[in-house]
Structure 1
Amino acid sequence: MNNYLKLVNFELGRFIKIYFILAGITIASQLIATVLVANNYMKLFNEEIYTNGMTTEQFVETHGEFSLLHVQYSQLFDFPIIFAAATLIIYSFFIWYRDWLGKNTFIYRLLMLPTARINIYLAKASAIFLMVLGLVALQVILLNVESNILKWMVPANLRVDLGIMEFIGNAVGGFSVGLIIPTSFIEFLIHYGVGFMVVFILFTAILFERSYRFKGIAYGIGYAIIAFVVFFAPFVVEMILGKSYLYPIELFILEVLLWVVVTGVSIWVSNYLLNKKVTV
């Protein structure tokens, strides 16, 4: 366990500079978006009231009350979330290939460490997962900060104050926020459970490629396809038959079992490849 934690800390440290840059971009971009959108709303209010002679009640009836939902339509709000997600997806590949293709083939030094090789695999997956959770936590904090900025910029009679869950539940354009911050614990388990499983499948596919080279590309793609087919089989069957034979709770339990199978097999296959096929 101690070796595993050291490896996790090591993997986090290798990406920390880029990670802080992503966090900085997210903070700056979303705060700017919040200020700009709120400022534009107040400009419109002043124009309608002082130039066009509209009353406050008429303005609210025509343009609606302002809330955090208005900010979600700004590209500056969604862009950093999408950019950070894309960066972490790319890094999920890079986290392995940097060790193999980097200077002095660092992967061989990792594999020769006095610890089970599967710890390297688990540490890399854990690092990705922790970085994702870190960005989620940052987004939750930012939503609270942005809500307070709106209270400061927009008068109470012109706005509707929404809690984080209310915002996510009513978000339309801000799909990315609703995706990374589920509205319930069950949704959290589903979103991040599936995401974690995908990381394991991806890592296993990469190890196939690293173990068998050109043949490994086909093996890796084939394994990924089979894994996804197995996991989504209940949904595929229902779509083909055009009828649902399982209650929602039964479907959920079945998917949990399939998640355990797919994730467990991915870890087992990766452990086999690391110990039997990847040599130093």
Structure 2
Amino acid sequence: MKKFLELWSFEWNRAKRFYGFLLAFVTSLQAYAVFHEYKFWKDGYESYRQQGVPAISEQYVLESGNITIAAVTSNSFFVFSIMTAVFALLFYSVFIWYQDWTGKNRFSLRLLSLPGKRFAVYAAKLATIWLLITGLQVWQIGLLYLEELVFSGLIPADIYLDIPLQMASTSASPLSLALPSLFSNYLLYYTTGYTALTLGYTFILMHLSGRWKGVLFAGILAVGLIAAMVLFLRTGITTRLYAEEKYWVMIAVSLVLFLSGTWANYRLLEKHISV
């Protein structure tokens, strides 16, 4: 446990500059999205006012509808900030492995030679990614409340409509994937997400332990998993299940794959990567 905590602290210290820049980038883009959407509305509203319509607010709402925080979350700058954060974390998830295995004096040799279980190296990296993802979610929730407060203050009260923040994004928005409105969706998305990350780490460790042979074996394993999934779907079992049963089958399969990937990663680190 001591080795894990020390390595986790070490990984976090390496990630905090990248993470701070990412949070600042996301915040600045979303702040721009708020004022960009306000200016867009204001220009349209001013044009409407120049028509000299009496009871302009009521008439404007009848013709154009109320404006909500969903206008901000559907803004292209807001969407781009979410997509950038997702891809940045995916990139860093891979980078934190390969940064230790490159160069003449590979730092990975020192990490794996430390006293204690080598699996602590894997656990620290996975826990770091979990911390980055969870921290970004908490930051985004705080940003949403702040953005809603600012945006509602800029728009006249008789035109702005308060809605629950859970309704601030459509099902097709990346925000609905990053911050699902329902706990059941949250559980499904992040169970499958962390399972995919664990399997991705399995393929990375195969490459690091076997080089091109590891890449070949990882490719064969990936093809095998995809083929098994296709064959399972072609059996038609899923067509005879209710929606709730399909949901729990997906959760169960994800957990089995997560545990299998974790066990494989443990074996690869302890038995197949030599220093």
Deviation at 1:2, TM superposition (A): 2.6
Mapping for residues 1-280 of structure 1, pairs under 5 Å: 1-49=1-49, 51-54=50-53, 55-102=56-103, 104-168=105-169, 171=170, 175-227=173-225, 236-237=233-234, 241=236, 244-280=239-275
CA contact (8 A) 1:202 1:224 kept: no
Structure-2 separation of matches of 1:104 and 1:135: 33
Query: Percent sequence identity over matched residues?
Result: 28
Q: In structure 2, what residue type is equivalent to 1:203?
A: Y
- Give 3-state SS (helix, strand or coil) of 1:129's partner: helix
Deviation string for 1:201-223 (max 9, x for gaps)? 01100111111111111112222
The CA distance in 1 between the partners of 2:175 and 2:183, in whole Å, is 16
Distance 2:14 2:113 in 1: 19
Q: Is the 8 A contact 2:67 2:161 kept in 1?
A: yes
- Distance, in Å, in 2 between the alignment partners of 1:82 and 1:250 is 31
Code of the residue aligned with 1:248 in structure 2: it is A
User: Cα RMSD (Å) of the superposition?
Assistant: 2.0
SS in 1 for 2:100: helix
Amino acid at match of 2:246: L
Aligned-partner SS, 1:99: coil
Given residue 52 of structure 1, which amino acid in structure 2 is its aligned partner? Q
Distance 1:192 1:159 in 2: 33
In 2, Cα distance between equivalents of 1:189 and 1:7:
28
**Secondary structure, in 3 states, of the residue corresponding to 1:213?**
helix
Instruction: Find the aligned partners of 2:223 and 2:186 in 1 and give their Cα distance.
Output: 24
SS across alignment from 1:244? helix
Q: Secondary structure at the match of 2:121?
A: helix
Using the alignment, how far apart are the partners of 1:196 and 1:8 within structure 2?
A: 18
Q: CA deviation at 1:230?
A: 5.1
CA contact (8 A) 1:66 1:160 kept: yes
| Higher RCO (C-alpha 8 Å, min separation 6) | 2
Q: Which amino acid aligns with 2:234?
A: V
Query: In 1, distance between residues paired with 2:93 and 2:99?
Result: 11
Letter aligned with residue 213 of structure 1: R
Structure 1, gaps ≥5 residues long: none
TM-score by length of 1: 0.90
Q: Which runs of 5+ in 2 are unaligned?
A: none
Cα contact 1:29–1:77 (8 A) shared by 2: yes
Amino acid at match of 1:68: I
Whole-angstrom distance in 2 between the partners of 1:129 and 1:226? 28
